[in-house]
Structure 1
């Protein structure tokens, strides 16, 4: 194929050069299908099975197929029997040779494809019954792969003297051990006993160490017993051992000699001192010999310990030594446990800290029971490593819906840690406040729905109405408080309490009242707003004095008297006086009764807030301009329609820019006092 050949040559030429240090420095080319880079550049066009070169085009076959049987090896005695095909061969469906179980007592006949399955375990399920490592017991586990576990049976082993015992695993040679107790085996004299540590009975002597046949010299060894007793030899082991007048001179474990006169028994502690290097070799203190400790194995004095703490990193590179007077110079072995979490996520590594390689596989939680999915159709056969997740199942989930509705759109089987999809059925439920029944509520929705209206329930304790939107639970809690004003009458001043609800049945009145009061002077000309400020601490105190009058009060009094003399209304609430033109006044003066009818109609139109326009029908000549002109004084817009006919009608409209109002005085009142010129 020219296209593929061109692709291969171009891909190989575009590949970057391989490093000279690589032994496999070969040019590569990318497959046009999977984009995998291969070092072998194809130079021939073959079919999929490789038996035919340049296969002819056959429209009844798969493209690039020769049509012959594939016959590729599939890792089993049977070759692929499918026609020459692309991609990997299908799993073998033929029956494989008989397969023995792990204990070799049963055989299985399965398909070749099952042998290649990772989950296939040829276990017969019977007891293994193989001999364990101890040689005394047999394996009681079901037929399993790999070696049997070590024998977990233990035995009790006694020491040489028979007073101590320890537990040993089965299969350990039954050898006696030495405990820390004293032998205490009696000698032949029947008086003394062995004071050595626990030792084998074969090494035990029956002769008493104090027997006259054994003791022939004084304790220091200078003179014989006969010389010291002058012929009166000892008869029994209880007779005192004679001593000479010389110095003991025995070599002590510190290297000095005993300076005490010849004596029986152990030498007393040495009273001299010696300079000895500490264990780490950094210091050389002078220490009394009596304070030195002896090595129980060699009998040599142990070096003293200085106060220097070793801070060298141990071989694990995670911990520091931390030993006092550490004798190690180069390599510090970490004696801690690794304790890292294993892949199972439940158990920890028991190897030493800083061990080589990765942590061991978990052996504590190995299960020998089948691990199934939730529906039980997909299983993993034992042994199962600790932390293994349940198998992935492609079967439909069989869990019933907790609400009882049928499930729409089945989903695959899943574990208990993954919830089923929520129910998609819409149901009808009451709202949280119980006023409405809400429809089209998803069944899976948690809690009661809200209708969006005000709660309206009476809050216990304060008696206010809850202003929160429809909600569930109590109206007040730690996060939601009553936000209404208290509203109770304060006993000190009688005003309404303006603070936020206290939640009590009474006002504590521990804060000043916030009510606004008007304070005036004696004549009433000056008025100002003040805060009441009364509270429980102000009971019995005098009230605030009135405002003093000033020169403005005298001026206001003078103006008031002048207005009374001139009969002028000086009230601040008096409406402004409307001035009408002479044409309107003359027409109203001659048609006074009809003018009052128009005034009444316009007043009713102003009071009716539902109407935006009012239509006066066709009237006599001259009345339409009068109505349109009068509407202006009511802050309305009047428009004459059909004015050419001589009997036009009037449409009166309200506007948003001006507030309609009844004029003062009315035109009928002004026309009655009007004197036409």
Structure 2
């Protein structure tokens, strides 16, 4: 809700004034200022000591209705309470009581004190049709909207104004129309006749306005009266007749002239004297008797004829009704004539003078017309001079042609107006130091604002390209991505939001990943730059062959590649792959080499017997690791004669070898058991190492929590 005067919002606790006609709400201070503008316009009321006595009418700014009340007091909407207190549970400026204003129907408004006009009356009333035959219950505010056709369809049947006929129209509001039936009328003298509606005249006769001309009773004269009702009067010259003064009677026919008695008339005159002349036809001449008379002003007395008016030569010195000019009438009787001089006082318009006859009191408003012209001269309007100030400039549909007051040759198009042109709303367009043009609204006489053109720059972290105003391109702009710069530890990146180089990156708070090849945690706990401190944790390491274990410091073990460091110096003894021999090398790292132990090899007939290295025998066809003597060599020519013997020997040998097979099967488990025991030992060692690593990790976490707790304390 805005005030019409200042166009500002009206607060909930500000004093207001509401127009009683249009219900427009003003600030009380604003409408008081508006009222005092009329005091400036009418200087005659400036000298009033109290504004409450001012009866000058002033107009509402919104509806232009005239008001006489002085707007200097704050009331609620219904006008019952002055300076109503603010209540958050009530509408602003309301007293909360019943409105009580009288509605047009005569009822009162039952709403709470409210702004604006009262709502239609909600009461239920019983209305009847105009003829009174039908009744109906409706809302009071809707009773005037009910047409007679909706209420009653019966004929009216009321007596018409003629008193002879009834109304045949349907039930209707208002008076019944005149009777439309016609009647025949004749005039009283009988010379004319006419047909007229019954509603206009209900009599059987009328006066035609002509001379009656009916013969009188005397038979010699006719009636000289206009057409009239009733009998004609008797002939005024019928006997007995008297003379003109009435003193003597004559018995003469009506055709004879009335004679004079020649005596003194003696009829009473208007002045009170008697007529001294002889009997004569009326009227009597003016009275000629001499009497002592006073003049009209009473200043002189003199003997003169009674019928004459005595006037003295004294001039009246009294003021006329205008209060300005003197009467100056000869022998004035006190009834001063109206002043005939022109007033010529300046009117309230200040442009004309009063052309009325001289009068008392204030002059009326100027009723002359003046022609007002718009600023460009294309539109003229004729208005009353008293309204000249209200309509100082007529509305002109032409465009304004005034030169602009800024650097633009022409500002935005606008209609012809009075006074200064509105501010230019075109873009400034001046060149800025950055090379762009100013896009702000024209601001002649003021420096241009910073450049608002969008340019692309990289963010502080160099992650992405951002659009910023040209005037801010030298400022540090940060994006929403994480910084990503390498921290001082050299292993992790900054997780803070993108920031400038002036803002230091965060301190790495991740745990140190530890030393390469060392399972133990770093003693510094958090990630740091440079190498970790040497680990002094004791580590128990087996030799390569697994027969001996030895305790070292972790720093001594980490990164050691010397094969002799973890060697126990004893024979390895690990079973070699592909044979049943053990490794004969000194405890070593990695996979054992080839088996170089010599075995006995012979041909099939057994005539050839040689000793060869085991790894070479494994590459020969027919090698069997279970056999002590391998039949690997080919037979020579000398071995063919003994083939039969060899076959027999083979059968014999096979029968002999069969009881020894169980021994061979028994010996196999011994080698497998030794290998399984070594495997189990290795598993125990690995499990123990894992347990130690887990225990050290838990200890490190415990130390971290202790340090954090101490820092908080």
Give me the TM-score of the superposition, normalised by structure 1: 0.22
Greater C-alpha Rg: 2
Give me the TM-score of the superposition, normalised by structure 2: 0.21
